[in-house]
Amino acid sequence: MSGPSIVRTQILPVDRPFKFESGGILPRIEIAYETYGRLSEHKDNAILIEHALSGDAHAAFYHEGDKKPGWWDCMVGSGKAFDTDRYFVICSNILGGCKGTTGPASINPDTGKPFGLTFPPVSVRDMVEAQRILLKSFQIEKLKCIAGGSMGGMQAMQFFCDYPSQFESFISIASAIKHSAQQIAFNEVGRRAVMADPRWNDGNYYDGIAPEGGLSVARMIGHITYISEKMMQEKFGRLKKDRDSRAIFRPSFEVEHYLDYQGISFVKRFDANSYLYITNAVDNFDLMASISAKERFRGQGRERGMNIGELRSKKGLVISFTSDWLYPSSQSKDIVRLFTALNVQVSYTDIATEHGHDAFLTDYEKPSEIIRGFLASLG
């Protein structure tokens, strides 16, 4: 039996100015990415995978020496939903991230120090534009599909609408066309936790200790929203790990230890400023407003002017999960209604599960079956 598939993250240097939607400009950027499978001779078998908020370019397979594979290894690989025997799968770290692509922790060439809060505000569309540069480096003119879950679904839909001629289809899993007030509220509490940490120091913490306490709390808040109430009750209930009666205000319940672990793990791999920038980008994402603005600008020489007619004959797949209360099924139904109105042929499935929002990362059997069938229908 052969060993696990090994992959390495690669870096694409972009030695020309990158202009952000906000008007900010960086003289150069770098884009971290990984690929799985082989690009066909006609370059017509490519699929672009988009990661969620805390993800990165390492979607599948193993890095040398890793004990765990990439974050979507259950979905990407030989014979899996995104079958690398058939498709050339690409995944890149988003602009503003902290796992290889240029972000707030990257060095500003003008100062020799990390950008921190001098980094321009990032939008989902900026993330898309960076990925478009990556695709051009492969000389890929049209992709079989673009797919992602949660924030990844937002990127997929934005890219698909901005450049419909570049895709045959899109897949959105557990996502939304815009955040609700509740979703924004959860993100704001997380941002406040980071900024309330004295070590955050207005984003200038790179020469000292990072705001680990604040970022850990932000991650703990996030994890509460990723799991359904029923699953949390079944998994933890009121079990206690520490029965020492003197342990007042120290984690004692199993669920407290779980959240502690998630928070501590997160601060070891993620930059606090990136967390602020990315959650801000997601909160400001509004696909309907974006489409309306693009229609108004059409005919003014803007490359992103959208021709809705181009969406006809395109296909979409939308998947939601019954117990997902962070991105409830009603928001996926909004996606279906929007793209149906744009004449996209949209299929929709609401999968029964008790795993909450995290189901898009853990429940792979039913989604894999649906995605395989969807991709097969593209020919």
pLDDT at 295: 56
Show which of 279, 297, 327 is a domain's final residue. 279
Same domain assignment for residues 176 and 108: yes
Show which of 279, 297, 325 is a domain's final residue. 279
Q: By the 8 A CB rule, do 314 and 164 touch?
A: yes
In a domain, 2, yes or no: no
Same domain assignment for residues 62 and 158: yes
Distance of CA 146 to the CA centre of its chain: 12
Q: What is the pLDDT of residues 172-229, one digit of tens each?
A: 999 999 999 999 999 999 999 999 999 999 999 999 999 999 999 999 999 999 999 9
Same domain assignment for residues 28 and 176: yes
In a domain, 4, yes or no: no
**252 exposed, middle or buried (CB, 10 Å; 0-12, 13-18, 19+)?**
middle
pLDDT at 298: 44
pLDDT at 251: 76
User: How far is the C-alpha of 6 from the C-alpha of 356, rounded, in Å?
Assistant: 31
Same domain assignment for residues 75 and 169: yes
In a domain, 156, yes or no: yes
Residue identified by tokens 């900026």 is: 126
In a domain, 193, yes or no: yes
Q: By the 8 A CB rule, do 55 and 66 touch?
A: no
Residues in the chain: 379
* pLDDT of residue 240 exceeding 90: no
pLDDT at 1: 43
Same domain assignment for residues 212 and 289: no
Q: How far is CA 343 from CA 174, 316, 373, in A?
A: 22, 10, 21
Ramachandran assignment for 202, one of left (phi > 0), alpha (psi -120 to 50 degrees), beta (any other): left
In a domain, 366, yes or no: yes
Sign of CA dihedral 318, 9, 102, 265: positive
Q: What value does the CA radius of gyration of the chain take, rounded to a whole number of Å?
A: 21
For the chain, give the mean pLDDT: 93
Same domain assignment for residues 125 and 250: no
Same domain assignment for residues 124 and 16: yes
Same domain assignment for residues 104 and 246: no
Q: What is the pLDDT of residues 130-156, one digit of tens each?
A: 999 999 999 999 999 999 999 999 999
Same domain assignment for residues 166 and 189: no
Assigned token pair, 326: 């962070």
In a domain, 3, yes or no: no
Same domain assignment for residues 145 and 170: yes
Residue identified by tokens 């792979």 is: 364
Distance of CA 321 to the CA centre of its chain: 17
Q: By the 8 A CB rule, do 31 and 93 touch?
A: yes
pLDDT at 236: 87
- Three-state SS across the chain? CCCCCECCCEEEEECCCEECCCCCEECCEEEEEEEECCCCCCCCCEEEEECCCCCCCCCCCECCCCCCCCCCCCCEECCCCEECCCCEEEEECCCCCCCCCCCCCCEECCCCEECHHHCCCCCHHHHHHHHHHHHHHCCCCCECEEEEECHHHHHHHHHHHHCHHHECEEEEECCCCECCHHHHHHHHHHHHHHHHCHHHHHHCCCCCCCCHHHHHHHHHHHHHHHCCHHHHHHHCCCCECCCCCCCCCCCCEHHHHHHHHHHHHHHCCCCHHHHHHHHHHHHCCEHHHHHHHHHHHCCCCCCCCCCHHHHCCCEEEEEEECCCCCCCHHHHHHHHHHHHHCCCEEEEEEECCCCHHHHHHHCCHHHHHHHHHHHHHCC
User: How far is the C-alpha of 38 from the C-alpha of 43, rounded, in Å?
Assistant: 9
Q: What is the pLDDT of residues 269-309, one digit of tens each?
A: 999 999 999 999 999 999 999 887 665 444 433 445 556 67
- Residue 191 sits in a domain of what CATH number? 1.10.1740.110
How many domains does the chain contain in total?
A: 2
Query: Mind telling me the catalytic residues?
Result: 150, 324, 357
Show which of 232, 254, 279 is a domain's final residue. 279
In a domain, 1, yes or no: no
- For the residues 223-240, what does the mean pLDDT come to? 90
Same domain assignment for residues 133 and 209: no
Per the model's pLDDT, the better-predicted residue between 312 and 301 turns out to be 312
Pick from 179, 161, 158, 148: which is nearest to 367 by CA?
148
Q: By the 8 A CB rule, do 115 and 144 touch?
A: no
pLDDT band per the 50, 70, 90 thresholds, residue 313: confident
- Domain of 193? 183-279
Residues of the chain above pLDDT 70, percent: 93
Assigned token pair, 330: 């009603």
Greatest pairwise CA separation for the chain in angstroms: 71
Same domain assignment for residues 165 and 117: yes
In a domain, 318, yes or no: yes
- Residue 91 sits in a domain of what CATH number? 3.40.50.1820
